[in-house]
Chains A and B, each alone.
Chain A
Amino acid sequence: MASVINLLFGKTFDLLLYPFQSLNPWVGMTVVSLVAGLLVLAIYGHISDQEGIKAVKDKIKAHLLELRLYKDNFRATTRAQRDVLRYNAKYLYCNLKPMFVMIVPFILIIIQLDLWFGYRPLSPGESVMVKVKMDQDPTQSDLTLQASPGLEIETPPLRIESEKEIDWRVKGLEAGVQTLTVSVAGQSFTKQLVVSGKPLTKISQARVADRFLDRLMSPAEPPIPPNVPVNKVEILYAGQEMSLLGYRMHWIIAFFILSLVFGFGLKGFFGVEV
């Protein structure tokens, strides 16, 4: 199930963002936000009670008008304030259903966007921590890590019994998608590590065991083979922020602002009552 969802969402976003990889990340972000805004409008228009929302908004407007017209009448303004609050609550109620419907796809979208916008690839010469989480005591394990020629393992393994974890520091030497090979209990699997890249580069932070939620949260690489005593191999890439006119912001803020702008800007065009 997780594989199907990851495949569907992964391919969609790969197709959507692939043309913009070499451009400023804001271009890709704008396109994704526009598509997300349209998607939200479409879902919202279909599943929300459009008539009910319109009626509630009209009521709110009427009571706001009442507030202004009868501003000298204490009883009337108190009643109007009460009604504004009441219909606001009703408005929120009308939005609950579409919100619940949209929350799941939105989380999946955010997981996909985090692969593209959340992390910065290593620069050549830069180091990063590689963390292997295990099912067993790492001091008793024969687990080893090997790196492709474009990488250098800088430290001996650091085994932390209490955390069931082995860590290394790895330096990127050559640009490209490099490979780390984890060998344990007679089996091997790889983990990709991206050194340098285009302005918009998809980065898989972790490769995880085949567990539903873990797979959903780390969708870019296949699951760790079964019967391997490893839960997760994680690269602690540096986070990346969107920069606009010297101001830095988390990509999720940029995404929400742009999606809202597109959603509200186009609602009239598509005749959706929000």
Chain B
Amino acid sequence: MKRIDRREFVRWGVTAGSMLAFGGAPAALVRASGKRETKKKVIVLGIDGLDPDLTELYLSQGKLPTFAKLASEGGFRRLKTSLPPQSPVAWSNFITGMDPGGHGIFDFIHRNPKDYNPYLSTSSVAGGGKTIEIGNYVIPISSGEVKLLRHGDAFWQILERHDIPATVYKIPANFPPAPTKQRTLSGMGTPDLLGTYGIFNYYTTEHAELKPDIGGGEIHDVKVIGGKVDARLRGPGNAFKKGNPDTYVDFTVFVDPVNPVVKVRIMDQEFILKQGEWSGWIRVAFPMIPTQSVPGTCKFYLKQAHPHFKLYVSAVNIDPASPALPISTPESYAQELESKFGPYYTKGLPADTQALDHGVFDEGDFLSLDEDIFREDRAILDYELSRFDSGLLFYYISNADQRQHMFYRFIDKEHPGYDPILAQKYGNVIEDTYIAMDRILAKVLDKAGKDTLVLVMSDHGFTYYRRSFNLTTWLEENGYLRLVNRRQRDAAFPGNTDWSRTRAYTLGLNGLYINRKDREGKGIVAPGAERESLVRELAEKLEAITDPATGQKIISKAYIASEAYHGSYVDEAPDILVGYARGVRCSWATPLGKAPLELFENNMEHWSGDHCMDPDVTPGILFTNGKITSDHPSLCDLSPTMLHAFGIEKQAGMVGSNVVEFHG
């Protein structure tokens, strides 16, 4: 998951508040899943970011006995990831068996070609349609709409047509859930209650140590007066009022004068926290109009009581007991899990990498949160395994991905952010996480009978991320892109780009677009030969760039979309997909079209492991108890493979094929 600045995100028009107030989740569906008893069963364990190099290393050290057993009984291969190897793209490949040309997801971020405005690629949320205004109030006449932008049938939709039941837990790139009667819960891409990728709140008396407006979080300057802190938690915009003003829930924190302990009073709830403790799930309801409020859930973490008060509040999650936006199919599935386990994380990728990156968390705080997420996922996995008796079960685990992003600097001694002291303390986190995944796999294998095909896969691998490259700056320096004001290099995209003189631009992590006359609103490059020639020229030049600090090429390959992709949406894709060399990635400014002065930067962030490079650098893994029939299986092959296990032919448009023989 990449960092998206809240203000920019909000500007992109994701007005979830409208949805919350106007439409809400779809009506409950009648049937939970397909009914057919299947002789063969399939369990897929989707471990985000499990890397083959590290897996092989730990296998060779005997630290992953269950993976080793599975590999010896069935097989293990590197799994070709998507182009580009970004999670929404990769999981869409897995879900549909198509490449991005078929499912239309090319990056975390897309842009509207007409006005160049960026938006999150997998879903869109539109506010209410027609409204009537009475005084200060707005009354909706029609509901808003939340839409999944991924194209193509998901494998569980195909299984449903054959009446084969499936349960799909937190699969990424499936918010809102694709329509089905199967049990599905949306994962990565599911927003928080504000409609963003997650905005935490941090209340502190020592605000000066932090920037006031950091991406992914809000810092609140508070004072302890008479042993009391009065604060408020921001909720979604109120779509029932003119101007969509923010809604709030007030709360009070009572601080003991000496002991490191506080009490939080919020709505009608009270709870005590010691320093370094997390609360359980706290329910909040943001008032809209007297009869309407929007429910959410969040967790509190007392980082410090004395001498400085520091309280972290997680992003407000959609309450699964009463989801304000659709997060499951049928709607009752989210509620069923809630009634069994209480509230749970509904926001996609709930581990707060932003809080760690901005110094709100230290590594220990981050791990305590991520461990809580893992504990919750394990409990639900036990439940789903216990009742799994037919069809397919897909289960997603995020921890390996998130921890590798944040802790890679402790296993990479050449990383600019390597800290030997911290490395001593946290150098084993990644290894321990792989070992924890091995234990999860053991649970799955315990449940799987001889008639169960087990697939363990990751969407991509991982490697170190040491150097950042400002692609927009390079385009500008080489005359392909012009800025309106060259002094405002950090100005928001697309306003500071002179489109009448820009031939190519970049947006997202790996995409480079030609400013085409036949596609872009202010395009200047003619289709056909002119475009072709420009694409080739750019690809050649990109592949020749070297990093002056290392003397090495920074781009392994510049892929041309029209050659790499297949399907109906190739024309919407970036014209070039930049495959960065190992250790290099686009800078944080690049995805949003900014052009800092420096072409290269050392990556000094906590975010030190990554995968958004050349797909050949970061393949995923495939373990199975079946026989792998391809030396080079890819993510696109897994959908046909799952269908094949149930005797279903691969569907039109799928570019992959069955790669596992399993006789059960």
Contacts and interface: CB of A to CB of B under 8 A. Distances in A.
Interface stretch (B205-213, B266-274, B451-459): B266-274
B257 interface: yes
B241 interface: no
A156 B270 contact: no
A169 B272 contact: yes
A161 B226 CA distance: 8
Nearest to A166: B256
A154 interface: yes
Contact of A160 (B254, B260, B271): B254
A160 B270 contact: no
B228 A156 contact: no
Interface in A130-186: 139, 154-163, 167-169
A157 B271 CA distance: 13
Interface residue SS majority, chain B: strand
A129 B271 contact: yes
B263 interface: yes
B77 to A, nearest CB: 44
A158 B256 contact: yes
B386 interface: no
A167 B274 CA distance: 12
A158 B272 contact: yes
A236 interface: yes
A129 B227 contact: no
Contacts of A139: 257
A155 B226 contact: no
A157 B261 CA distance: 8
Contact of A158 (B226, B228, B262): B262
B302 to A, nearest CB: 11
B259 interface: yes
Contacts of B228: 160, 162
Nearest to B225: A162
Nearest to B339: A246
Contacts of B227: 160-162
A198 B271 CA distance: 26
Contacts of B270: 129, 236
Interface in A32-64: none
Interface string A95-106: 000000000000
Contact of B261 (A158, A161, A162, A163): A158
B53 to A, nearest CB: 41
Interface string B221-233: 0000011100000
A162 to B, nearest CB: 6
B269 to A, nearest CB: 9
B272 A167 contact: yes
A156 B262 CA distance: 10
A174 B254 CA distance: 30
Contacts of A163: 254
A156 B271 contact: no
A157 B259 contact: yes
Contacts of B226: 161-162
Interface centre among A156, A158, A169, A236 (most CB of B within 10 A): A158
B263 A167 contact: yes
A167 to B, nearest CB: 6
B272 A160 contact: no
Given A129-B270, A236-B270, A160 B259 contact: no
A154 B274 contact: yes
B257 A155 contact: no
Contacts of B274: 154-156
B309 to A, nearest CB: 14
A163 B259 CA distance: 17
A158 B254 CA distance: 8
A129 B263 CA distance: 10
Nearest to A160: B254
B257 A159 contact: yes
B254 A156 contact: no
A45 to B, nearest CB: 41
Contacts of A167: 263, 272
B283 to A, nearest CB: 13
A167 B271 CA distance: 10
A236 B260 CA distance: 21
B299 to A, nearest CB: 15
Interface string B209-247: 000000000000000001110000000000000000000
Given A129-B272, A169-B272, A160 B263 contact: yes
Contacts of B261: 155-158
Contacts of A160: 227-228, 254, 256, 263
Contacts of B256: 156-160
A80 to B, nearest CB: 36
Nearest to A163: B254
A159 B261 CA distance: 9
A173 B4 CA distance: 45
B136 to A, nearest CB: 35
Nearest to A168: B272
Nearest to B256: A158
A155 B272 contact: yes
A169 B279 CA distance: 12
A83 B618 CA distance: 85
B555 to A, nearest CB: 55
Contacts of B254: 158, 160, 162-163
Interface in B340-377: none
A250 to B, nearest CB: 14
A158 B257 CA distance: 8
Interface string A189-211: 00000000000000000000000
A13 to B, nearest CB: 27
A125 to B, nearest CB: 13
Interface in A110-139: 129, 139
A184 to B, nearest CB: 17
Nearest to A248: B339
A260 to B, nearest CB: 27
A243 to B, nearest CB: 10
Nearest to A161: B227
Contacts of B262: 158
A159 B259 CA distance: 9
A134 to B, nearest CB: 15
A168 B261 CA distance: 9
Nearest to A159: B256
Contacts of B272: 129, 155, 158, 167-169
Interface of B: 226-228, 254, 256-257, 259-263, 270-272, 274
Interface of A: 129, 139, 154-163, 167-169, 236
21 contacts: A129-B270, A129-B271, A129-B272, A155-B261, A155-B274, A156-B261, A157-B259, A157-B261, A158-B254, A158-B259, A158-B261, A158-B262, A158-B263, A158-B272, A159-B257, A160-B228, A160-B256, A162-B227, A163-B254, A167-B263, A167-B272
Top 3 nearest A-B pairs (CB, nearest first) are: A156-B259, A169-B272, A160-B254
Given A155-B259, A156-B260, A162-B228, 20 more contacts: A139-B257, A155-B261, A155-B274, A156-B259, A156-B274, A158-B254, A158-B256, A158-B262, A158-B272, A159-B256, A159-B257, A160-B227, A160-B254, A160-B256, A161-B226, A161-B257, A162-B227, A163-B254, A167-B272, A169-B272
